[in-house]
Structure 1
Amino acid sequence: MAKFDRVVAIVLDSIGIGEAPDAAKYEDTGADTLGHIGDFFGDKWALPNLQRLGLGNIRADKPITGVPAIETPIGYYGKMYEISAGKDSMDGHFEMMGVPVTEPLGFFPNGFPAELIAKIEAFAHRKVIVNKPYSGTEVLKDYGEEQLKTGDLIVYTSGDSVLQIAAQTDLIPLKELYRICEYVRSITIDAPYRIGRVIARPYVGTTKDTFERTSDRHDYARLPDKPTDLNRLQDAGVPTYGVGKINDIFSGQGLDDGVHTTSNVDGMNQTIDAIKRGQEGFIFTNLVDFDAMYGHRRNPEGDGQALMTFDQQLGELLDTLAPNDLLLITADHGNDPGFRGTDHTREYVPLLAYSASLPGGATLGIRSPFSDLGATVLENFGVAGNGIGHSFLDQLK
Structure 2
Amino acid sequence: MTTTGSVPDTAADTAGRRALILVLDGVGCGEAPDTAAYGDSGSDTIGNVARAVGGLDLPNMARLGLGHIAPIPGVEPAAHPIGAWGTLLPRSSGKDSTTGHWELAGLHLAKPFPTYPQGFPSSVIEAFERATGRPVIANCVVSGTAVITDFAEQAREAGAWIVYTSADSVFQIAAHEESIPLSELYRACEIAREQLVAPHDVSRVIARPFVGTSGAWKRTANRRDYSLQPPGETLLDALAEAGIPRAGVGKVDDLFAGRGITSRHTVDNAEGVSALLEWLNSAPRGFCFANLVDFDQLFGHRNDVRGFQGALEAFDRALPSLLAALREDDLLFITADHGNDPTTPSTDHARERVPVLVAGARVRGGSVGERDTFSDLGATVADWFGLSWRGRGTSFLPGLLHA
| Category of TM-score, reference length = shorter chain | over 0.9
In structure 1, the residue matched to 2:376 is: 372
DSSP-derived class of the 2:192 partner: helix
Equivalent of 2:279, from 256, 271, 274?
Answer: 274
After superposition, the CA RMSD in angstroms is: 1.3
- The reply to whether residue 149 of structure 1 matches residue 154 of structure 2 is no
In structure 1, the residue matched to 2:5 is: none
Residues 167 and 202 of structure 1 are in contact (CA less than 8 Å); yes or no, is this contact kept in structure 2?
Answer: yes
Distance 1:309 1:386 in 2: 34
DSSP-derived class of the 1:395 partner: coil
Residues 28 and 336 of structure 2 are in contact (CA less than 8 Å); yes or no, is this contact kept in structure 1?
Answer: yes
Equivalent of 1:104, from 93, 101, 112?
Answer: 112
Q: 1:202, CA displacement in angstroms?
A: 0.6
Residues 107 and 391 of structure 2 are in contact (CA less than 8 Å); yes or no, is this contact kept in structure 1?
Answer: no
DSSP-derived class of the 1:351 partner: strand
- Are residues 387 and 261 of structure 1, via their aligned partners in 2, closer, same or farther at CA, if it must alter by over 3 Å? closer
- The reply to whether residue 250 of structure 1 matches residue 256 of structure 2 is yes
**Residue deviations 1:89-124, cap 9 Å, x none?**
000001111111112211111100000010111122
Distance 1:388 1:36 in 2: 31
Report percent identity of matched pairs: 46
Distance 1:314 1:180 in 2: 38
In structure 2, the residue matched to 1:195 is: 202
Q: 1:349, CA displacement in angstroms?
A: 0.3
Structure 2 gap ranges (5+): 1-12
In structure 2, the residue matched to 1:231 is: 237
Q: 1:19, CA displacement in angstroms?
A: 1.2
DSSP-derived class of the 1:248 partner: helix
Amino acid at match of 1:358: V
Equivalent of 1:23, from 32, 35, 47?
Answer: 35
Q: 1:221, CA displacement in angstroms?
A: 0.2
Equivalent of 1:216, from 222, 228, 243?
Answer: 222
- The reply to whether residue 180 of structure 1 matches residue 188 of structure 2 is yes
In structure 1, the residue matched to 2:395 is: 391
Residues 290 and 303 of structure 1 are in contact (CA less than 8 Å); yes or no, is this contact kept in structure 2?
Answer: yes
Equivalent of 1:13, from 25, 31, 35?
Answer: 25
Superposition pairs of residues 46-125 of structure 1, within 5 angstroms: 46-59=57-70, 63-125=71-133
Distance 1:313 1:280 in 2: 23
Q: 1:127, CA displacement in angstroms?
A: 1.5
**Residue deviations 1:237-272, cap 9 Å, x none?**
1111111101111111112x4311111111110001
Residues 3 and 380 of structure 1 are in contact (CA less than 8 Å); yes or no, is this contact kept in structure 2?
Answer: no
* Runs ≥4 residues deviating over 4 A: none
DSSP-derived class of the 1:253 partner: coil
Amino acid at match of 1:224: P
Residues 54 and 75 of structure 1 are in contact (CA less than 8 Å); yes or no, is this contact kept in structure 2?
Answer: yes
Structure 1 gap ranges (5+): none
DSSP-derived class of the 1:15 partner: coil
Amino acid at match of 2:188: I
Distance 2:49 2:387 in 1: 39
Distance 2:36 2:82 in 1: 35
DSSP-derived class of the 1:393 partner: coil
- Are residues 338 and 4 of structure 1, via their aligned partners in 2, closer, same or farther at CA, if it must alter by over 3 Å? farther
TM-score (norm 2): 0.94
Residues 376 and 393 of structure 2 are in contact (CA less than 8 Å); yes or no, is this contact kept in structure 1?
Answer: yes
Amino acid at match of 2:347: T
Aligned length: 389
Distance 1:240 1:218 in 2: 20
